Every structure is written in C-alpha cells, then in structure tokens.
Amino acid sequence: MVGKQAQAQDLVHSEGQNSSIDYSYDIPGSMPGTLRINASASPCEIVLIDYNEAKAMRLQVESPLTCADYLDTESVSWVDLRGLGSEDVLTQLGEVFSLHPLLLEDIVNVPQRPKVEEYEDQLLLIARMVMLRRSTTGFHTEQVSFVLGRHYLLTVQEEPERDCFNTIRERIRTNKGTIRKHNADYLMYALLDSIVDGFFPILERYGEEIEDLEDEVVANPTHQTLEKIYKIKRELLTLRRSIWPQRDAINSLIRDGSDLICDEVRIYLRDCYDHAVQVLDMVETYRELASSLMDIYLSSISNKMNEVMKVLTIVSTIFIPLTFIAGVYGMNFNTDSPANMPELNWHWGYPTCLAVMGAIAILLILFFKRKGWFENFSSTLRSRE
C-alpha cells in the first residue's frame, strides 16, 4: 500500500514540475498525518543560523536533535531544512519542534496550496517560490514551508540547490539592516518578502518575450510562433496559481492577528501584500496580452492567406484571356469553309496573335497597378522571401 501511495505521489510531483502545479492529495482511506516520501526527493540538509543583536553563528547539523539546544529565549534560531528525502529526519524534526501530525503532513506531502494555519504556539505558512532558470527559458517552482514559533523559525524547502534567501543570510551575517534587532516573526516577513519579490524578474522576462512575439506575430507568424504563445500562456497560468493563494495567505497574516506576529511586523506585511497584488496585476495583464497575441496571430494568418489569394487571383486574371485566345486558335479548323478563321492563313498571323496576347497582359498589369493591387503583390513576394 505504501508503494502504491509513493508511486501516485511521484506521478503527481513529476507532472507538476513539468507543466503546472498539481496540488497534493491524500490517497483515499489513508490515515491523517501519513507522510509520503517522494522516491526522487533530495537528501536532507539542515542549516542552523542562530543570532541576536550582538552575535550570529551558522552551523550545518546532521540531525534535528542538535537544534534542540539552540531553541532558547536568548536568540532567534532559523532552522533551514533543504530536501525531503529522509523520513527519519522529518520524523525527528516533528519531535524536536513538537509539530502536529497534520502540520508535518502539509510540509512533507508537496505540493500544497499556499495557506496559513495556526496551531498551539505555532504558525504554519506555506508559500510558492519561483526562480529563473539559468541555462534555459522558464522558471523553477517549489514549495517553502514556514513554521513560526516564539523564538525560532523553521523553513522547509524541496530542493537544496537553489533559493532566494542568500541576501537575507548575508544581512544576518554582516548585521546589516534590522533583522538581528527583531524576533523570528520579522525574519519570516523578510523571507516571505524575498519570495514575493522573486516574481518580478520572471515577469520582466515574460514582458520582453511578449514584446518580441508581438513583432513576430505581425511580421512573420509561423507554427513555432503559435507554440511560443501557448507556452507563455501555460507558464503565466502557473504563476497565477502560485501568487493568487499566496496573496490571500499574506492577507490572512495581517487580518487574523496571531499572537506570534507583532503589530510592527504586520505593517511590514502590508507592504509585502502590496507587492503580491502588484505581481498578480502584472500576471493578469500579461495573460491578457498573451490571449490578444492569439487573436493577432489568427488575423495575421488570415491576412497572409488573403494576400496569397490576391496574388493567385492576379496571376490567374492575367492568364485567363491569354488562355482563351490560345484555346480558340488551338482548335485548328483549317478548312475551305467561308466561316473559317482567315488569320490562320495569314503570313504574320502567329506573331500577331502573340503580340495581342502580350498587349492584353501589359494592359491588365497596368490596370492592376493603377488600382494598387500590384503593390500588394510585390510586398507579398518580398515578405515570402
């Protein structure tokens, strides 16, 4: 039974990473609090940063049991768990921090919808973190879970390779800003603000891609252009599914009034909420632009087809009278009948017929040029080249 659960979770997780976010679900009949460890999950790494206004230390620990010695009231302890590949480590983590089984389930069984839940002396916040890919287009997305206590903050990430928290770590190490002067709730705000701000570079890149696609759709739309539009629409939908519930979660932190978050930090969270609203507005704007690109693409293809049909019509119209003349003289009724075509026996009949056909073609070309159709014909040929 456990193997089937793991296989089902692997399928959901892999599909979510490749296309969009497919949120986690419980296997029917499973016991609440069941942990489903993904077979491809990264090994667990634990980094402890313990600080106060006077000093700060960073320590990489092997077991969550080591962190218990630092959970005191004299400093703020930031325990950063990266990777979800060890059930023993996750179980020990739940014991050290006295995590509710349902809370631990939400952390481990990824991905979850961004949300806020309050437990006894603890606050759970689940967020989506997105980062640009370095080598290719698109972005990475993963779940980041925050467990806020009185004097500690536990963060759980899916992958150890990347995150957007290096600036926060550097500010703690160098004592820049006011992080070391505040409690763990301010640290959670700083990390959450870093996650929300990480959406802006991605949206900036999509804005540039949409501008390039606008020129391509108008100038030379192809089947590859259509694929690019669909790709952008899917990825923008993934961003929307990430930031929409995240905005509501931040609003819940401001509105519900948890004892673990002071009034000063709520003021900062309002600024974070404004950034989330701005991100959502940009995502909606780019989605509308991407949808309008589809309409422009269809219009461009239709116009291109009309130009092609116009070219074929011009060519056909020029050759219709020539074909008619060639057909009439191709009947070869060369008899002694008085109704016979006399020009068949003329000495200059053949050159005269060719001259008449050439004159008709020239007159038609001049007529089309005067109407402006010949200019469209020339522009269509240039665009095809």
Q: What is the pLDDT of residues 70-108, one digit of tens each?
A: 888 789 999 999 999 888 999 999 999 999 999 999 999
For residues 135-156, give the mean pLDDT: 90
Task: State yes or no: pLDDT of 318 exceeds 50.
Answer: yes
Neighbours of 345 (CB within 10 A): 9
User: How large is the average pLDDT for residues 250-269?
Assistant: 92
Contact 296, 228 (CB under 8 A): no
- Report the 10 Å Cβ neighbour count for 182: 18
Would you state the pLDDT for residue 156? 95
Most confident of 20-24, 133-137, 202-206: 202-206
Question: Could you tell me which residues are beta bridge partners of residue 146?
Answer: 125, 155
Q: Mean pLDDT for the chain?
A: 83
**Which residues lie below 8 Å from residue 162, measured CB to CB, with a gap of 6+?**
131, 140
Q: Which two tokens mark 373? A: 């159709």
Please give the model's pTM, rounded to 2 decimal places.
0.76
Measured CA angle at 24 (ends 23, 28), to 5 deg: 135
Range ranked top by mean pLDDT from 6-10, 211-215, 376-380 = 211-215
| Most confidently modeled range among 195-199, 338-342, 374-378 | 195-199
- Interacting residues of 38 by C-beta distance below 8 A, sequence separation 6+: 6, 9, 10, 13, 84, 85, 110
d(CA 276, CA 265) in angstroms, rounded, equals 16
DSSP for residue 181: G
User: Which tokens belong to 383?
Assistant: 């665009």
CATH class of 1-180: alpha beta
pLDDT tens, 351-371?
Answer: 877 888 888 888 877 877 776
DSSP symbol at 26: P
Q: Where in the chain do CATH 3.30.460.20 domains reside?
A: 1-180
Q: At what angle do helices 184-197 and 199-219 cross, to 10 degrees?
A: 10
DSSP 30: P
Q: What are the pLDDT digits (tens) for 260-279?
A: 999 999 999 999 999 999 99
User: How many residues comprise the chain?
Assistant: 385
Phi-psi bin for 237: left (phi > 0), alpha (psi -120 to 50), beta? alpha
| Mean pLDDT value of segment 322-329 | 77
Q: End-to-end CA distance of the chain: give it in Å, rounded.
A: 62
* Long-range CB contact pairs, 8-13, < 8 A, 24+: 9/36, 9/38, 9/109, 10/38, 10/39, 10/40, 13/38, 13/40, 13/110, 13/111
Residue type, 130: V
- In which band, very low, low, confident or very high, does the pLDDT at 33 lie, cut at 50, 70 and 90? low
d(CA 169, CA 338): 108
